[in-house]
Amino acid sequence: MKEICIICDTEIANDPRVMRQINALSGDNRLTVVGRGELNLPQVTMLSWDACYRNAANRLEWAWYLLCHMTHAFTVLEKRFSVAHEPLLLRRFDLVIVNEVISLPLGFLISQGAPVYCDLHEYYFDMQPGDIRSRLTVGYYKYLCNTYLSRCAAVSTVCDGLARIYESIARQAVLVIHNVPSAQDLRTIPPDERRIRLIHHGYADPRRHIEGMIEMMDYVDARFTLDLMLTTKSAYRDFLQAEAAKRPNIAWKEPVPMPEICRTINVYDLGLYLLPPHTVNTKFSLPNKFFEFIQARLGIAIGPSHEMAVLVRQHDLGIVADDFVPQSMAKRLNVLTVDDIARFKGNADKIAPYFSSEEAGKTIRDTVNKLLH
């Protein structure tokens, strides 16, 4: 039985991508997981991220780390991981899996020559308008990628577009592992030609411009309704709820836990996502919700987001608007027939088993087995 360490600075139990790794590997290996929160799983030892990373103890130390970011003193920032506690440093691992670039120094610190596999969850060099933090950290993230990725035994990420970007840095092939939910045994519900039900679910994040989908409902014909199921209480969510209340064809639904999403939205006809590409991450967006639409046996209505559009067209899953303008999406929706929607839903049913965490788990196990032998 092999010893594997998995590292990620997130609440592990709420991070589906890391949990997919744990579920795929825990049966045949002993796992040590470094992160936040608790896990009560057999053959899994949970260690605290904060015990491995030196947080600023006071304002003076915080200012020192800020100055290091500003002056590109990145080797000082790496040493924040040198406090890794003894139970971790004394272990000998056969493989270390690092999630996100921030964990790379810790991964190589504890690997002691064992292979390091890095999974990159997103593009880390985006600088959000008005976001000072992203402008301060982007230099460090670039340094970490340039310093460590080429030393990794394997690298993976979430979609083809980001894989091509990271391949130029890592100087090796980058594997694509999609953010897919578990396989769902759900029936395909035929659409009703008198009422076509749209659903959008996810975070109420202003960077996602959800108000565009609300505005779109001013231009669709009387068949269409939209339900919004949004998490994260905020002023922006309140704004969206107020805008939705002005329109009789939009309803507000309370969010459900992630494992229940596919079953909950199975009653709808089309999953809707209109995301303007303001950053590299939004340009190459291929989110959980896209695959949740598939598992729920829904058709899909999206803007021309490259990664999603490729799969929609390849498998005839729905419609791709000409641009991200609300009227353009409404125009595409209005010409749909009930037979079109039934075809999209049927095609989602055909491919659902292949876009599941079970299939992704096989890819993870195959990758890890190659590194261990």
Task: Report how far residue 177's alpha carbon sits from residue 75's, in angstroms, rounded to the nearest whole number.
Answer: 31
Across the range 7-11, mean pLDDT stands at 95
111 lies in the same domain as 154: yes
Task: Report how far residue 73's alpha carbon sits from residue 136's, in angstroms, rounded to the nearest whole number.
Answer: 12
Q: Are 23 and 38 a contacting pair, CB within 8 Å? A: no
Indicate whether 190 belongs to any domain: no
Across the range 171-196, mean pLDDT stands at 96
pLDDT cut 90: percent of the chain above it: 83
Indicate whether 154 belongs to any domain: yes
Count the Cβ atoms, other than its own, within 10 Å of residue 82. 13
Indicate whether 51 belongs to any domain: yes
Across the range 46-69, mean pLDDT stands at 88
108 lies in the same domain as 152: yes
Model pLDDT, residue 85: 62
Domain tally for the chain?
2
Residues in a beta bridge with 45: 32
Indicate whether 335 belongs to any domain: yes
Could you tell me which residue, 39 or 240, shows the higher pLDDT?
240
347 lies in the same domain as 254: yes
Q: Are 97 and 364 a contacting pair, CB within 8 Å? A: no
Average pLDDT over the chain, rounded to whole? 94
42 lies in the same domain as 153: yes
Across the range 255-266, mean pLDDT stands at 95
Give the least confident one: 39-48, 82-91, 230-239, 262-271: 82-91
227 lies in the same domain as 287: yes
Count the Cβ atoms, other than its own, within 10 Å of residue 343. 15
141 lies in the same domain as 28: yes
Indicate whether 167 belongs to any domain: yes
Across the range 278-283, mean pLDDT stands at 92
146 lies in the same domain as 245: no
321 lies in the same domain as 218: yes
Indicate whether 72 belongs to any domain: yes
Helices (H), 79-220: 86-89, 104-111, 132-148, 160-170, 211-216
User: Of 200, 163, 158, which Cα lies nearest the Cα of 179?
Assistant: 158
Across the range 222-243, mean pLDDT stands at 96
Indicate whether 286 belongs to any domain: yes
Q: What is the pLDDT of residues 290-305, one digit of tens each?
A: 999 999 999 999 999 9
Could you tell me which residue, 228 or 54, shows the higher pLDDT?
228
114 lies in the same domain as 143: yes
Task: Report how far residue 157's alpha carbon sits from residue 192's, in angstroms, rounded to the nearest whole number.
Answer: 39
Query: Encoding tokens for residue 341?
Result: 């929607």
35 lies in the same domain as 86: yes
pLDDT exceeds 90 at position 95: yes
pLDDT exceeds 70 at position 84: no
Task: Report how far residue 56's alpha carbon sits from residue 63's, in angstroms, rounded to the nearest whole number.
Answer: 9
Q: What is the pLDDT of residues 97-155, one digit of tens each?
A: 999 999 999 999 999 999 999 999 999 998 766 677 777 889 999 999 999 999 999 99
Q: What is the pLDDT of residues 321-350, one digit of tens each?
A: 999 999 999 999 999 999 999 999 999 999
Model pLDDT, residue 135: 79
Model pLDDT, residue 61: 87
Q: Are 273 and 299 a contacting pair, CB within 8 Å? A: no
CATH at 252: 3.40.50.2000
Residues in a beta bridge with 320: 302
Rounded (5°) CA angle 275-279-283 = 55
Model pLDDT, residue 79: 85
pLDDT cut 70: percent of the chain above it: 97
244 lies in the same domain as 301: yes
138 lies in the same domain as 205: no
Indicate whether 189 belongs to any domain: no
Could you tell me which residue, 247 or 132, shows the higher pLDDT?
247
Could you tell me which residue, 79 or 362, shows the higher pLDDT?
362
pLDDT exceeds 70 at position 86: no
Q: Are 341 and 317 a contacting pair, CB within 8 Å? A: no
DSSP-assigned letter for residue 335: T
> Residue 209 sits in which domain range?
196-354
